[in-house]
Every structure is written in C-alpha cells, then in structure tokens.
C-alpha cells in the first residue's frame, strides 16, 4: 500500500493535513525529521503512517503511562496491532510483549524513556529490526522546555547502542526556537527536516477573567458548559481536592486527578472522564499530557500556570476534534505568589549542578513574567501566544477576550418572546420537537395537519439552527421560565408574562458558539437522529470497553446525522470512518439511520 491507501484504510481520511505529507515523505526516504505541530494537527499520523509501511518495528518514546495506554487503545480500534512497555506491566506481561514483538506481531511499540538503557530492553532491541525511533513530546529533552525529563537525555546514548541506526523522528506541540535547537542537538538528529506548521489553533477561543470570587465565576462557566466534557486545572493538590469536594456536593458531574492519589484512583478517575461517565475532571498538570480525548470542549485554569508553554499545552487539550472550544483563565494575584513559591522551592533534581539550578530558576522567573503579562495586559491573547513562539501575526484575531472584551452576558429577550409566544399559541399542548419545527418553519405532516403552519410564529426563527432553538428552550426550562409535563408538552410559568407583556428583559451568560454541531453545517443536522446515534455509540463503546470517541468521533457522528447515508458506500465516504471501523460498526449505525428515516437498507 502507498501512503494514501494506508491513510484511507486505517484512518479513514482521503487527504493529508498541512505538513503531514512532507514529514512522511522524508521519513520514508530515510531522513530524520522534527515536527512542531499544534495539538490536534495530527502529529501521530506523521509517524503512524510510515510505521505501517516500513519493514520493522517503530519505537515511540512517550513520557506518560496514560498517554501510551490511550494511544495503543486508539490504534487497536483502528485494527493496528501495537503495545506499550512501561512500569504498569508485570514481568510476565512484559515477557509476553517481548515475545510477540520478536514474532512480528506488533508494528508500533510505545516505551517509557526510563526503560531505554535497561539490560532487558537493550537485549530485546538487539533481536528485532527497529526501522524508526519516534520521540513524542520531544520538548521534554530540554532544560529550557516546560516539562524537562531527565530520562530523555538517555535517548542519544540509546540510539548509539543500537546495532543499526533507525530513522529518528521528534514531535512536539510547544517549542521555542531555543528548545528546537536543544531537541536537535541533545537527541542527535542528523540533518533533520524541520517542519513548523504554525502554533495557531483557530477553533480555540481564549479568555482571561479576573473575578472577585473565582468559585462563583467557575460555577457560571460550568453551568454554561453543562452536558459537555471539560478540564479544570489547579496549581496544587490541595486546590484540586477542595474544589472537587465543593463541586461534588453541589451535584456537578466531576472527578479529580493528581499525583497524590493512589495509582488505582488515578486510573479509575481518568477512565471515568475519558469514557464520558464524568463531564468534568479537576486536575493538576499531572493530568493530560497527550491524552487522546477528542471531545473536550472547554479547559478552565482555576490558577495561572507558571509559563506560556504549560498554559498553551494544557489549554490545547480542548477542541482536538476540530470543533470550537473555550480556554478560560481565572486570574488572581494569589496565583503569582503561588508560582513564585514553586520556583523558589523546586523539586530535587540530582542531575543538575547548583549553578544550573540557579540558571533554571532565573529562566522560570522570566517565563512567569511573560505569563503574568498575558493574564493582565495582553491586548490580543492569541497573538501574544503566537508571538511568544516566534510566529508573526497581523492585526487582532477577534476570537479572544482581549479583542472582544469580557462582557459575559447577552440579551436573549427576542428569542424568548418568540418561543414563549409559540408555546402559548399551541395552547401549551405540544412537546419541544413540535415547537422547534414551528419556529424553524418545518412543514411536517403533523404541523400541516394541525394548521400550525398558519401560526404567526411559524418560521419566526427560520434563520436559527434547530440546535440553537433547542438550547434556548433548555435554558428557559433550566431557569424555570418553561416546564415540561409528563407527556413532554411545554407550558409557561407565570414569570413569562412579564417578558411577553411588561417589557422584562432576559439575559444569558454569554456563549461564544455552538460547539455541539460545528463539525458540520448545524442547519442540516437532524438533532433527533444525532441523539440516537450518540446513544448507540455509547452502548457500543461500553461493550468494547473503550471511550465513546474511540468508536467514532463526534465529527463522524454529526456528519452522519446531517448526511443520512443510505448504504455502506455512502457511510464509508464520511471522514474518519476507516475500513476497520466500517466493518466493525458500520452496519449497526446504518441500521439506526435507515430505521430513523423510515427507509430500507440498500443491499450491497
């Protein structure tokens, strides 16, 4: 298979993203590469595609056990046999991995950097063909990076110890020019092709808020994002624990993660979040590096991080599916004191001299100053971040609070009046779906039979997406303007009269965009079908013991609800549905679609 056939068969894509093909071509030609690509830009594709085309095994050096597990699970769902080697495996499990690898059963193996120079692993590497060595999160090799990992300094020694030098590749999302030079020199890349695709994540909205009471502001955001998946970062374990207990008592769908929890607790809590059983995870920066959870729609920093690199990497865990997502920083003066305390009381690092420790301290103080400037003075938050990484920008981005201001509420009086009037005109006898059809102007058989197409409110919100109308109704239900009877019909509470007749205004906490359906044209999405497909996906994921998005991404589900494919051939054309996933799940999803649409399944 050529690179396009591999891309389509295993990953379900018909074309490469910016920078991917250039890197893949260089790897296949035997050249070392360094890829600097923002989170969500598809770094993994750059080494996974050539890994499947090269003769031997690809070793991927990865810094976190959780990252390795997520990556291997994702590859398994794609029909790619892979494994990981780290401290979570027993001796018996390790021996099984080594035996299967030597028998040629794996194409990709993830390994912790601490394993590289161990006698057992070194012996293993002498008995297999290693065609490529990939260093993920390569910034960890540099003292000037934000996640320096001492074991990464062993990589060059490991490469020298191999019987035959493989192609060496390095990837990261956040690296200044100085860190890029360190990556090349410390790993020992030979005349590498450097590809920097840019640092901008256009689907992310950046916001800095300086609230009087952080907890109040946080809960307002969490209420806004209700039903969506998100991460709340804190700077200390104590903050995580306290915030978790507060939110749990107030019935938020929340779990927590930090290094002070037991291994079993961390594993369980991460799985609850990854599997969408908990909407929110409260965590320190110990959580999340490289997590392969695509549907995180918001990241809130309850405390300011110590540097731009850390902030951008953590914020970048939102919107990996390409949908719009929010990155919010709740800033307070105490955050600065906390970060300075961390700088003055660093973790012990026996690999550094006193002089190096002081140099590192001064560097961190400099980085903190830049982070403080972002939090307090930056006129365009996006441009400030991009300029920090050396990317030139022109004009305002108009997609951050620096450009748009911090007005956190919007007037929704007009849609409220239209919705309330519609419910009143149908004599409070119809359900949400019917009200949406009337306001949208959908001439369904039921609407015509009831003469609702002759109402003054028919098509009153024709310019709005059905999902937007539904969110308005849900908001009014939540805040007791509207109630639902057991039959599902909607009726108006007394306070609606003030809005309809007495000029009372209705305001709502501002929402930047509709993140639930932005992967497709929201006006084309069948909301009822979308809900059915998501329920089916959750059932299939539960049976397979994997997160929902490992079955199919939100993008693919939304596309199906918009395009309503009639056969397997049409289903296969949806981006992200590979041959393996089509064979495994296609028939089940297609059956649900045709049942919803009242069609017969076409025979292939």
Task: Give the CATH number for residue 565.
Answer: 1.10.150.80
Q: What is the CATH number of the domain that holds 420?
A: 1.10.10.10
| Lowest-confidence pick of 111-120, 136-145, 517-526 | 517-526
Mean pLDDT throughout 88-96? 90
Using pLDDT thresholds of 50, 70 and 90, give the confidence band for residue 351: low
- Segment 567-579 shows an average pLDDT of 89
Say how many Å lie between the first and final Cα of the chain, rounded: 25
Question: Whole-angstrom Cα distance, residue 306 to residue 385?
Answer: 14
Residue whose structure tokens are 């009726």: 491
Q: Is residue 515 part of a domain?
A: no
Tokens representing 592 are 């649900």
- Residue 194 has φ and ψ, to the nearest 5°, of -100, 125
pLDDT digits (tens, 9 = 90+) for 174-189: 888 888 999 999 999 9
State residue 509's pLDDT score: 61
Question: What pLDDT, on the 0 to 100 scale, is given for residue 156?
Answer: 94
Q: Could you tell me if residue 534 is inside a domain?
A: yes
Tokens describing residue 426? 């149908």
Domain finish residue from 458, 479, 509:
509
Same domain, 190 and 229: no
Residues 60, 188 within the same domain: yes
Contact between 384 and 329 under an 8 Å Cβ cutoff? The reply is: no
The pLDDT > 90 percentage for the chain reads 51
Q: Tell me, yes or no, whether 603 lies in a domain.
A: no
The reported pLDDT for the residue numbered 169 is: 97
CA distance 63 to 289: 8
Nearest residue to 145 via CA among 171, 114, 176: 176
For residue 111, the SS3 value is strand
Q: Give yes or no: residues 18 and 158 share one domain.
A: yes
Residue with tokens 């190096």: 356
72 CB-contact burial (10 Å; exposed 0-12 / middle 13-18 / buried 19+) = buried
pLDDT of residue 512 exceeding 70, the answer is no
User: Is there a single domain that holds both residue 176 and residue 214?
Assistant: no
d(CA 338, CA 288): 21
Evaluate whether 489 touches 426 at the Cβ level (below 8 Å): no
Q: What is the DSSP letter of 171?
A: E
Say yes or no: 591 and 489 in one domain: no
Which of the listed residues 196, 221, 255 is the one where a domain comes to its end? 196
Highest mean pLDDT: which range of 174-178, 343-347, 570-574: 570-574
Residues 6+ apart with CB under 8 A from 427: none
Domain identity same for 137 and 247: no
Give the residue carrying structure tokens 């050396």: 390
The helix/strand/coil state of 1 is coil
* Average pLDDT estimate for 421-429: 95
The distance from CA 46 to its chain's CA centroid, rounded to whole angstroms, is 19
Q: Is residue 514 part of a domain?
A: no
Q: Among residues 393, 84, 500, 497, which one has the least CA distance to residue 385? A: 393
Largest Cα separation within the chain, whole Å, is 83
Q: How confident is the model at residue 524 (pLDDT cuts 50, 70, 90)?
A: low
State whether 446 and 547 are in the same domain.
no
The pLDDT of 23-44, averaged and rounded, is 91
- Three-state SS at 479: coil
CATH code of the domain covering residue 192: 3.40.50.300
- State the total domains in the chain: 4
Tell me: do 53 and 139 sit in the same domain.
yes
The tens digit of pLDDT for each residue in 584-601 reads 999 999 999 988 887 654
Six-digit token pair at 35?
Answer: 């890829």
Of 147, 169, 196, the one marking the end of a domain is 196
Same domain, 210 and 183: no
pLDDT digits (tens, 9 = 90+) for 140-164: 898 776 677 888 999 999 999 999 9
Residue 540's domain comprises 522-597
**Residue 273 resides in a domain:** yes
Residues 571, 565 contacting (CB under 8 angstroms): yes
Same domain, 400 and 416: no
């Amino acid at each position: 298979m050529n690179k396009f056939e591999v891309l389509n068969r295993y990953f379900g894509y018909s074309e490469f993203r910016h920078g991917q093909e250039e890197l893949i071509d260089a790897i296949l030609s035997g050249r070392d590469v360094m890829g600097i690509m923002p989170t969500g830009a598809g770094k993994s594709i750059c080494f996974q595609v050539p890994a499947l085309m090269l003769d031997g095994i690809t070793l991927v050096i990865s810094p976190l056990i959780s990252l390795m597990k997520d990556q291997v699970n994702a590859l398994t769902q794609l029909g790619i046999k892979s494994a990981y080697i780290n401290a979570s495996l027993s001796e018996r499990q390790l021996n099984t991995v080594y035996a299967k690898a030597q028998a040629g059963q794996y194409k990709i193996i993830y390994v912790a950097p601490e394993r590289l120079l161990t006698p057992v692993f070194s012996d293993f590497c002498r008995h297999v063909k290693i065609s490529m060595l990939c260093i993920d999160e390569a910034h960890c090799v540099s003292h000037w990076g934000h996640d320096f990992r001492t074991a990464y300094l062993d990589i060059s020694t490991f490469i020298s110890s191999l019987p035959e030098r493989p192609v060496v590749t390095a990837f990261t999302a956040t690296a200044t020019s100085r860190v890029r030079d360190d990556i090349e020199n410390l790993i020992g890349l030979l005349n590498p092709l450097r590809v920097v695709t840019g640092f901008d994540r256009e689907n992310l909205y950046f916001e800095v808020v300086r609230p009087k009471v952080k907890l109040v502001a946080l809960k307002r955001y969490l209420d806004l994002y209700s039903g969506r998946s998100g991460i709340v970062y804190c700077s200390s374990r104590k903050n995580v624990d306290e915030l978790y207990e507060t939110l749990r008592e107030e019935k938020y769908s929340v779990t927590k993660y930090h290094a002070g929890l037991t291994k079993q607790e961390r594993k369980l809590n991460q799985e609850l979040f990854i599997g969408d059983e908990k909407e929110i995870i409260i965590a320190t920066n110990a959580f999340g590096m490289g997590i392969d959870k695509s549907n995180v729609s918001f990241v809130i920093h309850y405390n300011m991080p110590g540097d731009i690199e850390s902030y951008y990497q953590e914020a970048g865990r939102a919107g990996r599916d390409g949908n719009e997502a929010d990155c919010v920083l709740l800033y307070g003066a105490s955050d600065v004191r906390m970060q300075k305390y961390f700088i003055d009381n660093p973790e012990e690092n026996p690999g550094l001299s006193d002089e190096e420790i002081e140099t590192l301290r001064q560097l961190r103080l400099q980085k903190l100053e830049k982070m403080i400037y972002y939090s307090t003075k930056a006129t365009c938050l996006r441009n400030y971040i991009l300029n920090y990484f050396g990317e030139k920008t022109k004009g305002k981005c108009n997609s951050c609070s620096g450009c748009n201001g911090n007005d956190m509420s919007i007037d929704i009086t007009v849609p409220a009046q239209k919705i309330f009037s519609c419910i009143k005109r149908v004599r409070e006898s119809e359900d949400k779906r019917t009200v949406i059809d009337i306001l949208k102007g959908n001439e369904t058989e039921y609407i015509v039979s009831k003469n609702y197409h002759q109402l003054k409110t028919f098509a009153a919100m024709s310019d709005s997406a059905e999902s937007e109308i539904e969110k308005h109704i849900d908001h009014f239900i939540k805040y007791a303007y509207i109630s639902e009877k057991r039959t599902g019909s909607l009726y108006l509470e007394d306070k609606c009269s003030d809005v309809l007749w007495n000029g009372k205004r209705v305001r709502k906490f501002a929402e930047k965009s509709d993140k639930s359906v932005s992967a497709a044209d929201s006006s084309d999405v069948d909301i009822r079908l979308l809900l059915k497909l998501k329920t089916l996906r959750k059932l299939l994921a539960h049976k397979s013991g994997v997160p929902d998005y490992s079955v199919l991404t939100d993008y693919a589900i939304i596309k199906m609800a918009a395009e309503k494919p009639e056969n397997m051939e049409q289903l296969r054309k949806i981006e992200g549905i590979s041959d393996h996933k089509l064979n495994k799940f296609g028939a089940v999803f297609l059956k649900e679609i045709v049942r919803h649409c009242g069609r017969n399944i076409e025979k292939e």
